Amino acid sequence: MSISQLARNIAESPTFALNEEARLLRERGEAVINLGIGEPKNKTPITAILSSAAKLTGGDVKYTPPDGTPSMKKAIIRYTEENYDKLVAPENIIVSYGAKQSLYNVLFTLLNPQDEVIILAPYWVSYPEMVKMCYGIPVIVTPEDGTFHPRFEDIERAVSGYTKAIIVNSPNNPSGEVFSEEFIAQIVDFCERKKIYLIMDDIYHKLVFDGRRAAPAYSYTHVPLEDSMIIVVNGVSKLYGMTGFRVGWVVAPRKLVEVMTNVQAQTTSCTSVVLQAAAEGALNGMQNIVENLRLTFQNNRDVIYQELKSFSGLRVNKPAGTFYILPDFRAYLPSSLAKDSVELSRYLLRKALVVTVPGKEFGMEGHLRLSFAGTIKELTTAVERIKWALDPNSPNEIYIGDRKLIRDWM
């Protein structure tokens, strides 16, 4: 079988692979706790359900404009004005099948072969693969001070004549770090001066804790939107817990949106009218769902952070946003248990029946990403199991499901 070199070089999504493994274990009756998936547990907002149901019961489910329905765009215009203090036009918006396709459309539109895209570690696993799929070169910039917050000086050094774009994700998946307003102001000014596109992945922008604020890039530019280098990607998956609806959007200069519309028209054609109606219902409905989720995640963050702090040898930063935490497990690596984060993640799934995501996939070897989107009981039980599997100071016996297990490998 002949497969293209490009396709062969694209890595499997680690989160989907781990979720599938967890599903198969559950089907066998195993008491698996999944801390790998980035998915809120809430029910779909009723306004989204009613709005999509109205389209279905009306029976008028046909093609939509490739860049999105007028009413969905109107909802995004209002959302952008309320949350970014930025007035945009319908021509500045394109609606896609999730923020993931939105980001891919942006990269496909911007990149020529060998163009470079700066990606800040820790990063979402799909960024480098998407850049490669568009024949670009991902340039990874890791903070040299050992933190999760990017340093402007490191980015400046990484920029070359081939740099086409920088991707910024704050609040950050996988670390939960919220980048400072000073950094966002610096990076906006730098990109506007250097004519480098600044792609803001804002999918978690309202899931922030302790009175913090995720600074919108638009707050730090005085350039008209049509001349700006800022591109904003967002969607309903995380803020409204609507991961299965796959609706995202891009706000950008209209010339870019025109090209992205052509790209989308030749691939997925358009986004389903039923799914757009659901997203529209969420955006136009009562917004207490977002605040309720934010408060739930903040409480969950406090619980898992305290549980992990009691863990011998573990270093952990307190997330300021999202629903992820990225503890440093290097005290246990390499060891007889595992040589790296990939093996450690597999070991914890096999021994403790807890799904985690290896830090290697996010550019942070030695760490594991844990999602705290689940219940308090799931979080405390999962950390107890991880401690049992790794920490020799923890009790030697544990119940997993209805089975009593004894740690006999330390």
Q: What percent of the chain has pLDDT over 70?
A: 99
**Backbone angles phi and psi of 44, in degrees to 5:** -60, 135
Read off the pLDDT of residues 173-192 as tens digits, 9 standing for 90 and up: 999 999 999 999 999 999 99
Give the residue, 408 or 57, on which the prediction is more confident.
57
d(CA 189, CA 195): 10
Identify whether the C-beta of residue 196 lies closer than 8 Å to the C-beta of residue 110. no
**Backbone angles phi and psi of 249, in degrees to 5:** -155, 165
Walk me through the domains of the chain, giving residue ranges and CATH numbers.
5-43+289-406 (3.90.1150.10), 46-284 (3.40.640.10)
> Mean pLDDT, to the nearest integer, of 21-47?
88
What angle (nearest 5°) sits at the alpha carbon of residue 18, between those of residues 294 and 124? 55
Read off the pLDDT of residues 283-331 as tens digits, 9 standing for 90 and up: 999 999 999 999 999 999 999 999 999 888 899 999 999 999 999 999 9
d(CA 197, CA 161): 13
